[in-house]
């Protein structure tokens, strides 16, 4: 895997997260909707810098799919939080790859920061965290 | 592969510098990340002692802090695993800067706040270390440790 592949995987993951948080937000109680909206904003804001890095490496940024198949039915707050946590954990693994494949400080900072944000959001949605986010096995891919 | 090329390049310069400056006897390849590895391990030791001191000063927190301590112990193990076993020098031994129960704030809330601040500071330092590491796998480990510590900062807020 090259840095370009890892960046493309991260962008594809962000697209999936943005779709996923739309579903998540619609199933959370009012007091948690703001947290989901904030997370959604975080994921949206990462697309542009990722696309820039991909273009710098002569890649064409991957596009979002019009829709995604959910790994399990999301119809209440519990399954919504579970989906959000799953998305964050998957994304953490991808960003850990970006860290380990990029030798440019700027890309590494983007990826380490994103990994930290994903871990913090995982803690928010599950109330727990693994010792090595992005390295400890994540739940299966979507 | 870029990774291999970069690692070879990283050891090439110190090696030639060694042969020019020393008797030319067998020198171990210099590790430009050595200091980062040792400081991160030392920082984990201090963090563990901070949690233990907090649990001792506030026994009602002991059960809740146990999981945090266990994760920091894994971080310490991960950092020690990146330090070459042959490089067994004073730098890898426990330092003197341990936190004692006397250093822990008397108020429970303040004690938790102190832990949160330590985690935030730690996470930022490990992110900086990750960004500047020469060894790519070390960068991944440091980024993961920083991520866990960011999550700790959030989880400690839930205790308070």
Q: Are A24 and A36 in contact (CB under 8 A)?
A: yes
Q: What is the pLDDT of residues A89-116, one digit of tens each?
A: 999 999 999 999 998 778 999 999 999 9
Which of A39-43, A99-103, B2-6, B62-66 shows the lowest mean pLDDT across its residues? B2-6
Residue A103, pLDDT score: 82
pLDDT confidence of residue B26: 58
The tens digit of pLDDT for each residue in B79-95 reads 999 887 655 554 445 55
- Which residue in B143, B151, B152 is closest to A112 by CB distance? B143
Q: Across residues B130-148, what is the average pLDDT?
A: 96
* Residue A66 distance to chain B (closest CA, Å): 31
The average confidence (pLDDT) of chain B is 83
Please determine, for residue B20, whether its predicted confidence score (pLDDT) is greater than 50.
no
Q: Return the residue of B nearest to A115 by Cα.
A: B147
- Is B160 a residue whose pLDDT tops 90? no
DSSP characters over B86-117:
T---GGGS--S----GGGS-SSHHHHHHHHHH
Q: Is the minimum CB–CB distance between A38 and chain B shorter than 8 Å?
A: no
Query: Under an 8 A CB cutoff, do A134 and B144 touch?
Result: yes
Query: What is the value of ipTM here, to two decimals?
Result: 0.94
d(CA B122, CA B75): 12
B13 has pLDDT over 70:
no
Q: What is the pLDDT of residue A109?
A: 95
pLDDT of the residue at B10: 44
Model confidence at B148: pLDDT above 60: yes
**What integer pLDDT is reported at residue B94 of this predicted model?**
57
> What was the pLDDT predicted at B108?
96
Rounded Cα distance, A121 and A90, in Å: 12
> How many CA atoms lie within 13 Å of A137's alpha carbon, on the beta-carbon side?
2
A132 at interface of B, judged by CB pairs closer than 8 A: yes
Longest dimension (CA), chain A: 43
Contact B143 A109 (CB under 8 A): no
Q: Give residue B28's pLDDT.
A: 66
pLDDT digits over A116-132, tens only? 999 999 999 999 999 99
Question: Would you say residue B146 has pLDDT above 50?
Answer: yes
Task: With CB atoms and an 8 Å threshold, state whether A131 touches B139.
Answer: no
Closest to A13 in 3D by CA, of A97, A106, A90, A124: A90
User: What pLDDT is stored for residue A101 in this prediction?
Assistant: 94
% of chain A exceeding 70 in pLDDT: 97
Residue B43 has pLDDT above 60, yes or no: yes
Query: Which single residue is written with the structure tokens 């429970």?
Result: B108
Interface of A with B in 81-110 (CB under 8 A): 92, 95-97, 99-101, 103, 105, 108-109
pLDDT at B1 exceeding the cut of 60? no
Share of chain B above pLDDT 90, in %: 69
């Amino acid at each position: 895997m090259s840095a370009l592949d890892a960046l493309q995987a991260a962008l594809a993951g962000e697209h999936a997260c943005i779709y996923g948080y739309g579903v998540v937000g619609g199933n959370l109680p009012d007091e948690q909707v703001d947290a989901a909206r904030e997370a959604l904003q975080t994921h949206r804001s990462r697309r542009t810098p990722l696309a820039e890095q991909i273009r710098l490496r002569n890649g064409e940024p991957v596009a979002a799919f019009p829709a995604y198949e959910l790994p399990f039915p999301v119809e209440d707050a519990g399954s919504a939080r579970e989906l959000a946590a799953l998305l964050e954990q998957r994304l953490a693994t991808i960003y850990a790859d970006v860290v380990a494949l990029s030798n440019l400080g700027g890309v590494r900072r983007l990826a380490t920061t994103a990994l930290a944000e994903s871990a913090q959001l995982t803690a928010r949605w599950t109330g727990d965290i693994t010792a090595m986010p992005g390295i400890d096995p994540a739940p299966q891919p979507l | 592969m870029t990774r291999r090329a970069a690692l070879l390049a990283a050891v090439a310069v110190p090696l030639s510098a060694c042969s020019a400056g020393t008797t030319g006897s067998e020198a171990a390849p210099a590790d430009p990340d050595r200091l980062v590895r040792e400081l991160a391990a030392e920082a984990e030791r201090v963090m563990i002692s901070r949690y233990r001191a907090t649990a001792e000063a506030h026994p009602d927190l002991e059960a809740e802090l146990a999981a945090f301590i266990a994760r920091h112990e894994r971080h310490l193990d991960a950092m020690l695993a990146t330090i070459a076993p042959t490089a067994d020098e004073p730098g890898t031994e426990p330092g003197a800067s341990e936190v004692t129960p006397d250093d822990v704030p008397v108020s429970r809330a303040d004690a938790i706040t102190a832990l949160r601040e330590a985690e935030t500071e730690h996470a930022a330092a490990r992110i900086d270390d990750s960004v500047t590491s020469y060894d790519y796998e070390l960068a991944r480990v440091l980024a993961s440790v920083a991520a866990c510590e960011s999550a700790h900062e959030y989880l400690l807020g839930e205790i308070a």
